[in-house]
Amino acid sequence: MLKKLYDFKNFKGDFTGGLVAGVVALPLALAFGVQSGMGATAGLYGAIAVGIFAALFGGTETQASGPTGPMTVVSAALVAIALNGGDVITDNAMSIIVATFLLGGILQIIFGFLNIASYVKYFPYPVISGFMSGVGLIIVILQIFPFAGMGSSKSTVAVIQNFPSLFTDANVYALLLGGITIAVYYLFPKVTKAIPSALVALIVATLIAYFMKMDVPLIGEIPSGLPSFQLGGILEIDSSAYATIVEYAVVLAVLGSIDSLLTSVIADNMTKTKHNSNRELIGQGIGNMIAAAIGGIPGAGATKGTVVNINAGGKTRVSGVIHGLFLLAVLLGLGQLAAHIPLCVLAGLLIPIGFKIVDFKGLKHLLKVPRADAVVMILVLLITTFGSLIQAVGIGIALACLLFMKKSGDISEKGLEVGNVADIDGAKPWQDELEFYEHYKEKVIIKHLYGSLFFGFTSYFKDQINLLPKDITAVIFRMDRVPYMDQSGLYALEDIIFDLRAKNIEVIIVGLQEQPCDMLKAVDIIPDLVPEEDLFTTIDDSFEYLRGKLKQ
């Protein structure tokens, strides 16, 4: 009976994977807790609750969950509003925070039951890119003052306004320790990747500060023992706070869902499995509800923890549970040691994490993608960084849809054949393909693309390509009816070509129109991924080329 529930031959890998993921998560949980404004303990509580319960009830077997950069940024914004300019979290402020986190978890569960996960794929790439880059910049900017041993500012605008004070009030010891932390974080992997560099950096810098008795701000006392429930005051919240609670709960639920599902896709690619999106949202919602109930910050699927879990041998959800239990053991046994960690060291860990969240790939191609996509990305990035996270996403999606509709209208007005917008077909060969198809259908797949390759189509496009047989030699994309490609479509096609090439499947493109061709050349997909000899004007030319190769 027990064997039906769990195959113990996986336990060694699950134990190792969960342990390594827990070690990776520990310094980040402390750092994200401090950045949220609720303290390092809240980061640990959140990592434990989300780590254990999202693993138990989620839909991705190898997912390691906990506080993440985007979720922490939203949480910090909420905490700043709840404090209303103060520095101490009062009972009333805590009730507002807990109620928001709790409602966010409930909404995620509802999303799972309503199959909302199927709509997440329609988020345009420039919106997600701009938002994530903005979140990364927020993390970096808000850590500037703690890195210098000064008090943390509540907003990015406040950091910019008070920036001159860095030159008069900075703590030299804090700057030294922060610099050592960043140096170890980046340099230690060159020595070995067996031990997480974030943990090594945390320990090395903390020991230096402790034994050299450096006068720098510390985390301070971390309560030991099991957390207590924090639900007592949520029924007494003033009605004036309801709008804020709902607003931030929706953002946390949507952002946590996107964050988790993106990590689930990465896990699928590594393990060659398929996650259950709706179950994943339900599991994340349960984890975030329990985190809220014990005063922890919310979390999502953590990409770094998930990757190290899989690489260390994790195969089932038991690995995620072990990752959470390890953090619980740390909370119960090492709380007094964590109290000596300098805040500048945590800042030194978060600054590289912030830069990793910034989408440098999208920014690098800013002048090469359609102008509309570039405008949306920059606008979302700026609003996210210096304004409202909620407005950034809403304005970005609305603007992306509006600009796409205009572009589609412009294409139609020019009299171009656009076919059905976002369509792919490969089940039946066309008339001019019949002879070749009969001879080589076991070796070559032909896919017909119709209409604009845009953000609403990319997920379906990838799913269709994933269904291709594994023993084929080449894939032909007929793109003579694709007049336009946006940034989402560009990167989707790049990922697909990269995956096919990794499987030694040759990619042939036929009939590229001017705009898609310019896009592929601008970001070096042509000739880096698709050499010039794999581009053809007509289908007959591609058949002649493939016949020669297949005969060889």
Do the domain assignments include residue 12?
no
Do the domain assignments include residue 369?
no
235 vs 415: which has the higher pLDDT: 235
Predicted confidence (pLDDT) at residue 441 exceeds the cutoff of 70: yes
Report the distance separating Cα 402 and Cα 282, nearest Å: 32
| pLDDT value, residue 2 | 52
223 vs 228: which has the higher pLDDT: 228
Q: Are residues 435 and 344 in the same domain?
A: no
| pLDDT value, residue 335 | 65
Residues 138-174 have pLDDT tens digits of: 889 989 999 999 987 778 888 999 999 988 889 999 9
State the average pLDDT for the chain: 84
Q: Is the dihedral of CA 142, 148, 153, 156 positive or negative?
A: negative
Largest CA-CA distance found in the chain, in angstroms, rounded: 81
| pLDDT value, residue 344 | 93
| pLDDT value, residue 106 | 96
496: Cα separation from own chain's centroid: 19
Q: What is the CATH number of the domain that holds 521?
A: 3.30.750.24
Q: Are residues 37 and 168 in the same domain?
A: yes
Residues 6 or more apart whose CB falls under 8 angstroms from that of 268 comprise 60, 274, 275
Predicted confidence (pLDDT) at residue 13 exceeds the cutoff of 90: no
- Indicate the burial class of 219 (C-beta count within 10 angstroms; 0-12, 13-18, 19 or more): buried
Average pLDDT over residues 181-194: 90
Question: Please, which residues bridge with residue 447 across strands?
Answer: 477
Last residue of some domain: 331, 349, 364?
364
Do the domain assignments include residue 18?
no
Do the domain assignments include residue 180?
yes
Average pLDDT over residues 181-199: 88
pLDDT band at 204; cut points 50, 70, 90: very high
| pLDDT value, residue 245 | 93
Last residue of some domain: 317, 342, 364?
364
| pLDDT value, residue 116 | 83
Torsions phi, psi for 225 (to 5 deg): 90, 175
Predicted confidence (pLDDT) at residue 419 exceeds the cutoff of 90: no
Q: Which two tokens stand for residue 392?
A: 């950034």
Do the domain assignments include residue 135?
yes
Q: Are residues 216 and 354 in the same domain?
A: yes
Do the domain assignments include residue 372?
no
Q: Are residues 173 and 315 in the same domain?
A: yes
Do the domain assignments include residue 399?
no
Average pLDDT over residues 101-127: 86
Q: Are residues 351 and 479 in the same domain?
A: no
- Indicate the burial class of 8 (C-beta count within 10 angstroms; 0-12, 13-18, 19 or more): exposed
Report the distance separating Cα 151 and Cα 144, nearest Å: 10
Q: Are residues 466 and 360 in the same domain?
A: no
Strands (DSSP E) contained in 252-327 are: 300-301
Q: Are residues 351 and 458 in the same domain?
A: no
Q: Are residues 148 and 278 in the same domain?
A: yes
| pLDDT value, residue 309 | 87
Last residue of some domain: 319, 347, 364?
364
Residues 284-309 have pLDDT tens digits of: 999 999 999 999 999 999 888 898 88
Q: Are residues 344 and 463 in the same domain?
A: no
What total of structural domains would you count in the chain? 2
Q: Are residues 215 and 133 in the same domain?
A: yes
Q: Quickly tell me which residue has 């509003």 as its tokens.
A: 81
| pLDDT value, residue 423 | 41
pTM: 0.75
Q: Are residues 342 and 435 in the same domain?
A: no
Report the distance separating Cα 416 and Cα 422, nearest Å: 15
| pLDDT value, residue 429 | 73
Average pLDDT over residues 535-550: 86
Rg of the chain over CA atoms, in angstroms? 25
Q: Are residues 360 and 429 in the same domain?
A: no
Q: Which two tokens stand for residue 516?
A: 């898609």
Are 26 and 199 spatial neighbours (Cβ–Cβ below 8 Å)? yes
| pLDDT value, residue 384 | 87
Strands (DSSP E) contained in 40-164 are: 65-66
Size (the chain), residues = 552
Range of the domain at 184: 27-364
What are the Cα distances from residue 265, in Å, to 118, 120, 272? 13, 13, 10
Do the domain assignments include residue 32?
yes
206-210, 224-228, 299-303, 364-368: lowest mean pLDDT where? 224-228
